[in-house]
Amino acid sequence: MKTFPTSAAWCLGILFISVSLITTGSSEVQVVGSANPVVALAGDDVILPCSLKPSVSAEDMVVRWTRLNQKSEVVHLYLDGRDSNVGQSPSYSGRTSLFNEELKNGNVSLKLTRVTLSDAGNYMCFIPKLTSQVKETTVQLFVGAVSQPVISIDGTKGWGVVLKCESGGWFPEPEMEWLDSSGTILPADGPPERHRDSEDLYTVRRRVTVNQTDNNRFTCIVQQQEINHLKETEIHVPDEVFPKSQVGLIVGLIAAGAVGVIAASAIGVYKWRKHTEGEFNLDV
């Protein structure tokens, strides 16, 4: 009867243990969320992703969503095969739900409706009955607010027209620029004016003096890069709104002067002819 050498037996044993560890590690159920922040606008409905990997049913598990702040608020609780509002923070009442039909696939994502600026923060998805070490994951929610800018004509300056752009209800604080019809940034009349109200929403306004162009079209853009949102409004300024150009004024003055010279010459000729006719009559 043949026997394996001792060294071969050790190698096989180590290989068996390694395969067992790899298999056990790969089959261990873990809670997985999103590595990137979830971005939403105030008033939107949003989904905070959370799932079990590999996919196993979570129908008989306890799923607890909490907000990681000083109070550690309970946002949503799934217990004994149904949603429960036990201990739920009043600010989330009637606004949270799980996708019950997806629980069998390990999807325990949270749907949060009508989000507000105060909902922004970190949320933890926790499944306490898992035997693995990874029983929880954290999802960051970022909430912004935007509005459409409004353009108005704010008078004239020199030979140009002063335009004012104003946009309120923004969060976080946005940037505002003026563009001409070709997309070139126009130099504004000073830095933007900014105001923050009691609800932490920003109002921004900025003026620019524009000269007459071939199409008189100008655009105000307001953008917030953190929430990747941009709003813009375009205005067409009628030709008659612009002050008369300096060239036109000079031409007008020259024309008026020419008319004056012609008129004066005509009067002079008329008086000379009268005077000549009077002298002729005296000689006769």
Q: Where in the chain are the domains?
A: 30-144, 150-241
Task: Give the H/E segment covering residue 73.
Answer: strand 73-79
SS3 166: strand
Is there a shared CATH topology between the 30-144 domain and the 150-241 domain? yes
Q: Are the C-beta atoms of residues 177 and 189 closer than 8 Å to each other?
A: no
Q: Return the minimum-mean-pLDDT range out of 15-19, 69-73, 171-175, 222-226.
A: 15-19
CB-count burial class (<10 Å; 0-12, 13-18, 19+) for 208: buried
Q: Are the C-beta atoms of residues 168 and 202 closer than 8 Å to each other?
A: yes
State the Cα–Cα distance between residues 158 and 209, nearest whole angstrom: 9
State the Cα–Cα distance between residues 105 and 250, nearest whole angstrom: 81
What is the CATH topology of the domain spanning 150-241? Immunoglobulin-like (2.60.40)
Per-residue pLDDT for 156 more than 80? yes
Per-residue pLDDT for 4 more than 60? no
CB-count burial class (<10 Å; 0-12, 13-18, 19+) for 171: buried
Give domain 30-144's CATH architecture: Sandwich (2.60)
Query: DSSP letters of 186-231?
Result: PPPSSSPEEEE-TTS-EEEEEEEEE---SS-EEEEEEEETTTTEEE
Task: Tell me what the pLDDT averaged over the chain comes to.
Answer: 84
State the Cα–Cα distance between residues 165 and 1, nearest whole angstrom: 95
222-227 average pLDDT score: 94
pTM over 0.95: no
Q: Which residues pair with 48 in a beta bridge?
A: 110
Query: DSSP letters of 130-161?
Result: -SSS--EEEEEEEEEB----EEEEEEEETTEE
